[in-house]
Amino acid sequence: MRLERRASVPPILYVAAPLAAVMVALAISGALIALAGASVPEAYRRMAIGAFGSRLAITETLTRATPLILTGLAAAVAFRARLWNIGAEGQFYIAALATAALGGAASAGGLLPGPLLIPFLMICGAAVGAMLLLAPLALRLRFGVDEVVVTLLLNFVVLLFVSMMIDGPLRDRMAFGWPQSVRVSPEAALPKLWQGTRLHVGLLVAVAMSVVVWIIQSRTAFGLEAKAAGFNPRAAAFAGVPIPKVLVGVACLSGGLAGLAGAIEVMGVKGYVTTDLSPGFGYAGIVVAMLAALNPIGVVAASLFVAATFVGVDGMSRALKVPSFIADVTVALSLLCVLVALTLVTYRIRR
Amino acid sequence: MVHQHFALAPNLTVIENVVAGTEPLWGWRSRRSAARKKLAELSSRFGLAVDPDRLVSELSVGERQRVEILKPLYRDAKILILDEPTAVLTPAESESLFAALKTMAAEGLSLIFISHKLHEVMRSADRVAVLRGGRKIAERRTSETSVDELAELMVGRRVSRPTRTAQEPGAPMLAGRDLGFAKGGRTLVEAASFELRAGEVLGIIGVSGNGQSSLVEMVCGCEAPASGEIAYFGETQATASPRGLVASGVGRVPEDRHAQGAVGELTLWENAVLERLKEPRFRRLGFVRRAEARGFATDVITRFDVRGGGPETPTRLLSGGNMQKMILGRNLASDPRILIAAQPTRGLDEGAVAGVHAEILKARASGMGVLLVSEDLDEVLGLADRVQAMVKGRLSPPVPVEQLDARRLGRMMAGVWDEAA
């Protein structure tokens, strides 16, 4: 038995294969749910209710999907150019911290009016996130240091830094000793999309960004160069693509998107930074990007799926006493199945 | 099996390379003296002289080839398969390889010699099987066939390589003066000088790995020379960028189509315009002008008869010959004045070779200066006006092709050119 590259792939397969893979993954985790002693149809029914069954459920899922879309895009644009940015988590946190510091009621008071303050803080967050990725890239371009290791390890450095700051200079004195940062000023809070829920306009920003990224990748000269540099750096260099410059651009975009996720999460949901602001949005972004086969529009769908799984399982596990780890298992299984499915899209099995 | 690309460990000696894998892994002692005796006996029997105690990294390419052949012989192989064994040999080294092959055949071994060089097949083989499109389509005895017949069988139709007509060269187009290049502490090109004129094909011949790749990288604007200078159209350029060169009328065909010439995953049109993305005709406000780019690709496809796909086809699906036509076409479609062609026919079938040769001669006739870097004697003798040999990073003085034949060219490739000049 061996794998053989397909000569041509019907475009429909690119959509059908991931969907089929997710079905397979749900079937496998169904077996695990049964093993945990719950009824499988009931569990999935509860999951669907938990994720989409009410106004609250739907808005929770969408709120959860918002940062995932952005970190997913961050991973997708970087991986497309073979820049292995594993540091979206760190970029998320450092941007969140910067947003809280700059948008804190004390420093932002009267600095900028609300309608300007929000975009300003978003741009600042993106810039900080981008800078955190430019440092590992500079090391790679200059000394050939592997960016996987550096970006990954920076995540922990940043988290410790955040934890130091919110226990020190940026600590909220009104928080009864809880380690949390100063609050952003109320003018910097993102408007709600739906009153009485947590859903905020960050979702629109995230979806808009996915369209912007799609346009950049498929229509601009920069996108074409980044694609060429990712697939075959030697040929790209021969054709005169300035690879270091392109990678700097990709790093700004990728780090910027992860930073934007952090800024939006602070302004949209909590209003302040704690060290559990992100339940691993940065890492989940990698999963989302892979689930979406690095397609920026697919990232939106993949984020919804991942968010719905986590939110849905929360409700289901409370009701049926199935450990909520089943959400992680389902998402991980989906990733494995999608990777297999995408291999089978490009290759066929011959015996 | 002797592969085209050597599978030797350069940090081991010849004898260690030969016996590796034949000794029991957990034995108490290796039986080196017996191995040494057997190797010496094989060497003298087949005329494959090589010092068993030298490191492989110190050996010349021809000697490494011998070690590769000794490996299966040491394992008492009865059938030996040689895949393009002469690709990296000078003509003289090839001759001694053929002599060794004859001895082996006389000793009762069976040899399969895979090659696309027809003269070599005629020289060394008794019988020839012709493969085309994965099928064996003919079998001949070499005594009863000819080079022309084999060529025809390979392609499936009559092919004749185009021939050159006399032509006066014009103004200098491309010149290199005392070029030097080093990478990783190794000198790859040293004091190389050449001058290419309009309406002329300058052939650079050499056994692969003698610095031609670095020379091409420099004139293509991919690497800056460590010393010396390059002049395009009579003007010295301190920093030549690939795109600047392409825009100023330099066509470049890299030596490795798949690794350098095209990005396989991108479509034909994307590859066609990748090196011209800076030009306003394919770019507006940072966006790719897709209609223009597709039009350009369609133009290349029709004018240069690229088969196997349209502008939207992923380039990796093209055959080698068609990919090469696309690469040549994207350069020639905008009428450059210099064409740099590195190994333009490597790995192509006879029909595609004739097509590429015709394009190169057409370019020459239109007054283009063509720098042809090749390992193929016939190609250089058939296309070039003047020839320089490249050996160990140095270029010989140019010799008009009229004064050359395969024998003399072979001597130049081996580094003997003082009397030839």
* String of DSSP letters for B106-151: HTT-EEEEE-S-HHHHHHH-SEEEEEETTEEEEEEEGGG--HHHHH
Q: What whole-number distance in Å separates Cα of residue B121 and Cα of residue B98?
A: 10
Residue type for A96, please? A
Check if the beta carbon of residue B62 is closer than 8 Å to that of residue B208: no
Q: B277 touching A, CB under 8 A?
A: yes
Q: B221 touching A, CB under 8 A?
A: yes
Question: Among candidates B216, B315, B215, B219, which has minimal Cα distance to B273?
Answer: B315
**How many Cα atoms sit within 13 Å of A293 on the Cβ side?**
18
A220 vs B288: CB contact, 8 Å cut-off? yes
Give me the residue label for tokens 């066609």: B272
Query: Using CB atoms, which residue from B261, B262, B283 is nearest to A221?
Result: B283
Tokens of A79: 């991986």
Residue of chain B minimizing CA distance to A237: B222
A5 membership: H or E segment, kind and range: strand A2-5
B259 vs A232: CB contact, 8 Å cut-off? yes
Q: B266 touching A, CB under 8 A?
A: yes
Handedness of CA A49, A53, A57, A59 (dihedral sign): positive
- Answer yes or no: is A184 within a domain: yes
Question: Among candidates A233, A310, A322, A308, which has minimal Cα distance to A279?
Answer: A310
**CA B214 centroid distance within chain:** 14
Identify the residue among A224, A241, A253 best suited for mutation to test binding to B, counting B beta carbons within 10 A and taking the highest. Answer: A224
pLDDT above 70 for A108: no
Q: What whole-number distance in Å separates Cα of residue B131 and Cα of residue A37?
A: 63
> CATH assignment of B172-413?
3.40.50.300
Give me the residue label for tokens 């390992």: B375
Query: Using CB atoms, which residue from B243, B260, B286 is nearest to A234?
Result: B260
Domain spanning B14-125, CATH class: alpha beta
Check if the beta carbon of residue B293 is closer than 8 Å to that of residue B268: no
Residue type for A337, please? C
**Alpha-carbon separation of residue A38 from A42, A52, A318, A319, A320 (angstroms):** 8, 21, 12, 10, 7
- Answer yes or no: is A31 within a domain: no
Residue of chain A minimizing CA distance to B273: A239
B241 vs A240: CB contact, 8 Å cut-off? yes
Check if the beta carbon of residue B179 is closer than 8 Å to that of residue B228: yes
Q: What whole-number distance in Å separates Cα of residue A297 and Cα of residue A77?
A: 12
Q: Which chain B residues are within 8 Å of A231, Cβ to Cβ?
A: 263-266
pLDDT above 70 for A91: yes
Check if the beta carbon of residue B199 is closer than 8 Å to that of residue B368: yes
Residue of chain A minimizing CA distance to B283: A221
Q: Which chain B residues are within 8 Å of A8, Cβ to Cβ?
A: 317
Q: B285 touching A, CB under 8 A?
A: no
Q: What whole-number distance in Å separates Cα of residue B315 and Cα of residue B303?
A: 17
Q: Which chain A residues are within 8 Å of B244, Cβ to Cβ?
A: 240
In this predicted complex, what is the ipTM? 0.83
Q: What whole-number distance in Å separates Cα of residue B96 and Cα of residue B104?
A: 12
pLDDT above 70 for A196: yes
What pLDDT sits at residue B420?
Answer: 44
Nearest chain B Cα distance for residue A245, angstroms: 14
Handedness of CA A2, B114, A235, B334 (dihedral sign): negative
Q: What whole-number distance in Å separates Cα of residue B334 and Cα of residue A292?
A: 39
B264 vs A231: CB contact, 8 Å cut-off? yes
Long-range Cβ contact pairs of B136-141 (< 8 A, separation 24 or more):
none
B399 membership: H or E segment, kind and range: strand B399-400
Higher per-residue confidence, B28 vs A214: A214
Tell me whether the CATH fold assigned to B14-125 matches the one assigned to B172-413.
yes
B275 vs A239: CB contact, 8 Å cut-off? yes
Residue of chain B minimizing CA distance to A6: B317
Nearest chain B Cα distance for residue A172, angstroms: 45
- Answer yes or no: is A12 within a domain: no
Q: Which chain B residues are within 8 Å of A4, Cβ to Cβ?
A: none
| Mean pLDDT taken over chain A | 90
Q: Which chain B residues are within 8 Å of A294, Cβ to Cβ?
A: none
Give me the residue label for tokens 């600590």: A171
Residue of chain B minimizing CA distance to A225: B274
Query: Using CB atoms, which residue from A8, A227, A240 is nearest to B275?
Result: A240
Query: Using CB atoms, which residue from B222, B259, B277 is nearest to A224?
Result: B277
pLDDT above 90 for A301: yes
Give me the residue label for tokens 């490494």: B64
Tokens of B67: 């070690």
Tokens of B320: 């080698």
Give me the residue label for tokens 């010849």: B14
Tokens of B256: 């490795």
Q: What whole-number distance in Å separates Cα of residue B395 and Cα of residue A103?
A: 67
Q: Which chain A residues are within 8 Å of B242, Cβ to Cβ?
A: 237-240
pLDDT above 80 for A1: no
Query: Using CB atoms, which residue from B243, B262, B288 is nearest to A235?
Result: B262
* Residue stretches of chain B with pLDDT short of 50: 420-421
Nearest chain B Cα distance for residue A6, angstroms: 10
Give the number of A-B residue pairs with CB atoms closer than 8 Å: 72
Q: Which chain B residues are within 8 Å of A225, Cβ to Cβ?
A: 274, 277
Q: B312 touching A, CB under 8 A?
A: no
Residue A61 confidence class, pLDDT cut points 50, 70, 90: very high
Tokens of A218: 């498929």
pLDDT above 90 for A131: yes
Question: How many Å is the Cα radius of gyration of chain A?
Answer: 21
Q: What whole-number distance in Å separates Cα of residue A142 and Cα of residue B380?
A: 41
Q: B292 touching A, CB under 8 A?
A: no
Q: What whole-number distance in Å separates Cα of residue B399 and Cα of residue B404?
A: 8
Q: Which chain B residues are within 8 Å of A7, Cβ to Cβ?
A: 317
Identify the residue among A214, A220, A238 best suited for mutation to test binding to B, counting B beta carbons within 10 A and taking the highest. Answer: A238
Query: Using CB atoms, which residue from B252, B260, B317 is nearest to A7?
Result: B317
Least confident residue range of A63-67, A213-217, A269-273:
A269-273
B284: helix, strand or coil: strand
Question: How many Å is the Cα radius of gyration of chain B?
Answer: 23
Task: Give me the residues of B, 313-332, that contact A with CB < 8 A.
Answer: 317
Check if the beta carbon of residue B379 is closer than 8 Å to that of residue B357: yes
Query: Using CB atoms, which residue from B252, B259, B265 is nearest to A234?
Result: B259
Q: What whole-number distance in Å separates Cα of residue B235 and Cα of residue A202?
A: 56
Which residues of A make CB contacts under 8 Å with B?
7-8, 219-222, 224-225, 227-228, 231-232, 234-241
Q: B247 touching A, CB under 8 A?
A: no
Q: What whole-number distance in Å separates Cα of residue A122 and Cα of residue A190?
A: 11
Residue A88 confidence class, pLDDT cut points 50, 70, 90: very high
Q: What whole-number distance in Å separates Cα of residue B31 and Cα of residue B22?
A: 11
Q: What whole-number distance in Å separates Cα of residue A50 and Cα of residue B8?
A: 62
CATH of the domain at A303: 1.10.3470
Q: What whole-number distance in Å separates Cα of residue B138 and Cα of residue B134?
A: 12
Residue type for B342, please? A
- Answer yes or no: is A95 within a domain: yes
Nearest chain B Cα distance for residue A223, angstroms: 9
Q: B81 touching A, CB under 8 A?
A: no
Q: What whole-number distance in Å separates Cα of residue B372 and Cα of residue B374?
A: 6
Looking at the 3D structure of chain A, how many domains does it have?
1
Quote the domain boundaries for residue A53.
Answer: 37-322
- Answer yes or no: is A303 within a domain: yes
Q: Give the contacts of B29 (CB within 8 A, at least 6 positions apart).
A: none
* Burial label, B290 (beta-carbon count in 10 A; 0-12, 13-18, 19+): middle
Q: Which chain A residues are within 8 Å of B286, Cβ to Cβ?
A: 220-222
